Each structure stands twice: as C-alpha cells, then as structure tokens.
Chain A
Amino acid sequence: MIGAAELRALLPLMLVALTAIGTLLLAGFRRDARLAALGYQGGLLLTLLTLPWALPEQPLEVTPLLRIDGFFGYFAALFVLVAMAVGLMMQRQVRSKTSGERVEESYVLLAICLLGALVLAGAQHFAALFVGLELISVASFALVAYPCGGRPSTDIRQRNSLEAGLKYLVLSSVASGFLLFGIGCLYLDSGSLAFAPLPPSTSLALPGLALLLVGVAFKLALVPFHFWSPDIYQGAPTPVAALVATLSKGALFAVMLRYLWFGALQELETLVPAVALLASLSMLGGNLLALRQRDIKRLLAYSSIAHLGYLLLVLLAIGHAGVAIEAGAFYVLAYSLTTLGAFALIGCVCEAGDEPDYRLEAFAGLIWRAPLLGASLMLILLSLAGIPLTVGFIGKFYIVAAGVDAGLWWLLAVLVAGSAIGLYYYLRIILIMLAPQSEPSGIGGGRWLVYGLTLLLVLLGVYPLPVLQWLPVL
C-alpha cells in the first residue's frame, strides 16, 4: 500500500515525470526553445534539491518493484546531474544552428530517459528493470534520430542521424528480446520476478542467465556485441551520443550491480568464465579498435567499450571484495563525468563551422587557438587514460583495489595491458593538439560547460572525499 512515506520516497520519480509532461505541454502551447530548456532544467534542479529530503532514513520498499535507499540516492543524483549537463549541451547545439527545426521535444525525451534511469536505479524487480530499460531505449531512438543541424527530412545532414536511429531501434529491440527471454526463463524457473537468489538445482537458470547476459552485454556494447555503438555515436547528435554513452549505460550497470548484490551472487559463479571473457575481450578489443580511428566520435565509442570492460571487473569482484559496490559506483561517476566533458568539447570544437568536422585533425593546434580548451582536452584525455590528479585515476584505482581483493589476477593483467594500449591513442590526440596550427577555424559556444566539467574532474581527482562518503556500501 502506498502511504505518505512511500509517496515521499517516490518524489524524485514523480518530479521527473512531471517535468516531462510539463515540458511536453510547454512545447505544444508555446514554441519557445529557451522556455522549454528553462522548464526542463528547473524541474531537474528541483528534483536534485528535494532528493536529500525525499530519501528515507531506512531502505524503503515502495511496492515490490522499487527500493528507495542510499544506492538509489547516489545514482539518482548522478543521473539527474548527467541529464542536466546533456540538456545544457542540447541547448547550446540548438542555439548555434539556426534552422527552423523544433527542439522543444528533445527536452521531453531527455526527461523520459532520465525517468527510466531513475527507475533502473531503484529497481529490485525484473518488471521495473524492463520498464526502466524500455523508457530509456524508446526515448533514445527518437533522440538519436533527432534532426540537429538541418531541416527535417530535407537536409542531407540528417541522413546520418536517421540511419543511426534506425540501427539503434532494430538492434536495441533485438537485445530487449534476448533480455525478455532470459527473464522469462528465470521466471519459469523460480516463479518470481523479484531480485532474489534462485532455487537450487534447476535446469532453466543457466539459459536464463546466459540470455540475460547477452541482452545486457548488447545494451552495454561489450565486445562481441559492440558493433552498433560506433555507428550510433557517429550518427547521433553529439549531446545524444553523450547521453547514450553515460546515462543509459550507467543506469543499466547500476541495476546489474543491484541484481547481483540482491542474491544472484551464487548464480554468477556459473557465469564467471563468460563474464570474464566479455570483460577481457572488451578491454582489449575496445582499445585495439580505437587505435586506428580517425573520427573522434568513433574513437570515443571504442574507448567507452573498453571502459565498460573495466567496469565488468566490478561485477566479478562483487561477491569477494567488500569494496566492489563502491568501486562500481565511483567508476560510473568518473566515466560519466569524463565522457560528458569529452562530448561537450567535441560539440564546442568540431561543430563550430557550418559543417561538423569530427576528424581528429579538427583538434590540430587547439592549444594555440584556445589554450584553456586545449588544457581541458588534455585533462579529459588524461582522465580517460586514468592518469593521477584526475577522477579517472581514482576510479581505476578503486577497480584495481576491488580486483586485487577478489584475486582476479589475470583480468587485472588484461586491464593493465588495455590501459597501456589506450594511452597510445589518447596521447596521439594530445600530440595532434600540440602541433602547430594548420588551418584556422573557429571555436563554438559552450566553453563554460567544458570548463566546469573539467574543473570538477580535477577537483574530484585531487580531493574525492566529499563524493566518497556518499558512495553506497554493501
């Protein structure tokens, strides 16, 4: 039964849902991009501010579907902040492209995505998992195909995003099918959809878990289920690519953490070889494939595949190392912050001209053209590579600590090898950036977002304590 306490705990979800509806009505009755952005950011800010008040002291089950606790609180705050940053990027993208396209709806879709992520952060039931996942996916299909920088359906520049949207729709639906089939097998096996340990000695548990793993790997773009991700990143508008890279992957990872935490641990034992294989393939494959990329968005896509591979280490360590949940939670934060910074910078540098230029050469001589932006890019890349003084280092340190605790030695060796390969292509961009300028080109707007994200990235890298005390613990 839903009482006052439950309603209070659900407040963040309700506020985000209200934001989506309110923005929709604003879009219908007043065509004003700035007003829609204001409504969206206002609603999200309100959600963020009321979040500490709304969180119950003790973990609270709101219906069998959701569980509102510290874990939810941490990820909810992170996802709301990510969505706000993506909203800012969207706003800037729109301001710089002054064709007559309609942008107000993008905020509605962003809010729906965020709602799905919040549901995933609180899910303790497969029904909630699926609803949350589909909320994110369905809103992302439309966002990926969003006309950014061209008149709808007439401009050749929209072709890329349409193609990306269609690919994402088909592949993501197939992945959802796998996931649903896996959930169905598990339900047939245990008779319950709640996140709980499965009854022992059953024949359908293994196929169910394997199908579930395939679906999740597809959505997280782990090698060998990664083929969609570079194409989507390349074709989608830059803010949306940032959203797909951070919010949807982070939310799915959060729900997997909770699933394993809530009792599927001994089931994992049977899947350890498969997950370990996925992790090592992603770490090596992502980094190797990124080596020869000439397109910054594709490069980031492969780098994100590798980062998700590092994160899988946490899932393997979860039963053995107490630090695993913390490590996963912090790494999601570090990865989201850095990736958002990278995409904000791409929006700022590559999309300054009439035609977006995503070649790595677009960064040539950036440090001479715009020293602060160049320095930001350097810090972001170092954070992606996991060099000290950045938040990426703390995140990777956490993961290695969890891996050492759990004794995953050969996976740690793969992680080190992958990071070493990764260093090569991150440093290559820095070299390109330091080269003398070949052709003069402008810098777009949106620098302040890049500066802010970079500052946060360094601050948390030097002094992570304020965040560490909020991390959910086992």
Chain B
Amino acid sequence: MHATEETLWSLALYGLAVLSLVALMLGLSYALGQQRRSRATDEPFESGIVSVGSGRLRLSVAYFVVAILFVIFDLEVVFLYAWAAAFDAVGLAGFVEALIFILVLLAALAYLWREGALDWGPRQRSLERTERER
C-alpha cells in the first residue's frame, strides 16, 4: 500500500515535470522567437519548393477496401503465429480451434468475393452484375 502510494507520487511528479518542460519549451519559443507574418508564413514547408496543387487527393474506393482486407488478414496472421509457436503444446484441440477460426474467415472471404470487394479498380464487375439483375 505504502509502496504503491510512493510510486504514484513519483509518477505524478514525473507527469508534472513533463508538462512543465513542454510548457517551458513552448513558452520560451513564443516569448523569445520573432513573430512575423508574411505571405509565405502559412504555406507548408516543402524543402524550399513552392507546393503545387491541392493536398486533397481522390483515392479509388478499391484502395480503401484493399486496406481493410489487409488489416483483416494481417490480424489473422497474428493469431496464427501465436498458434504456430504453441503448435505442439496445444495439440489436436488447438488444431481444431485454429481450423474453425480459419473456416470462419474463409466464409467471410467468400462473402467479400461475392460482394465484389476483390475486384480491382473503380469498375466493379460483380456490382454491375447485381445492378443488371435488378
């Protein structure tokens, strides 16, 4: 109990020190630095080159879908790595459980494929097909 309180105090002190250091740095640069406003002040710094065009790009929706798919399968791999490391220890039960996990993801993949999430580019053939059917 006593030890916890002591560590909590030191943690609070540390937090306070961090805050005051940040405040000091920001405050000093605000107080000592020169404040000048000119035409180029608010422009983004691009290594001395004047920036061209807008920063707002139009990305194809397919990019987003692929990103999501990547995250899903990346996560799957995380779980499978854990399983692979403990393959001998968990035995048959672990194998069955991992199999169920993979099969569920496979069902999700099949659904995504039918939805046209795997078609690259802005034209999605399977979506068009469902439109035609309608």
Contact = CB atoms under 8 A, between A and B. Distances in A.
B93 A201 contact: no
Contacts of B134: 100
B108 interface: yes
Contact of A21 (B4, B5, B104, B113): B104
A24 B104 CA distance: 10
B8 to A, nearest CB: 9
Given A100-B134, A203-B4, A21 B114 contact: no
Nearest to A2: B93
Contacts of B114: 28-29
A156 interface: no
Nearest to B8: A203
B110 to A, nearest CB: 6
A24 B111 contact: yes
B1 interface: yes
Interface residue range, chain A: 10 to 19
Interface residue range, chain B: 10 to 19
A289 B9 CA distance: 43
Contacts of A31: 130, 133
A29 B110 CA distance: 9
B63 to A, nearest CB: 18
Interface string A11-46: 000000000010011011101000000000000000
A465 interface: no
Contacts of A201: 1
B93 A27 contact: no
B108 A203 contact: no
B115 interface: yes
B93 A25 contact: no
B110 A25 contact: yes
A203 B115 CA distance: 53
Nearest to A105: B111
B89 interface: no
B107 interface: yes
A28 B1 contact: no
A24 B107 contact: yes
A425 to B, nearest CB: 45
B111 A27 contact: yes
A1 interface: yes
A2 B97 CA distance: 11
A28 B115 contact: yes
A11 to B, nearest CB: 15
Nearest to A100: B134
B5 A203 contact: yes
Contact of A25 (B4, B5, B107): B107
B7 to A, nearest CB: 11
Given A2-B93, A21-B104, A25-B110, 6 more contacts: A21-B107, A25-B107, A25-B111, A28-B113, A31-B133, A203-B5
State the 8 A-B residue pairs at the shortest beta-carbon distance, nearest first: A28-B114, A28-B111, A21-B107, A203-B4, A24-B111, A203-B1, A25-B107, A100-B134
7 contacts: A1-B93, A2-B93, A21-B104, A27-B111, A28-B110, A31-B130, A203-B5
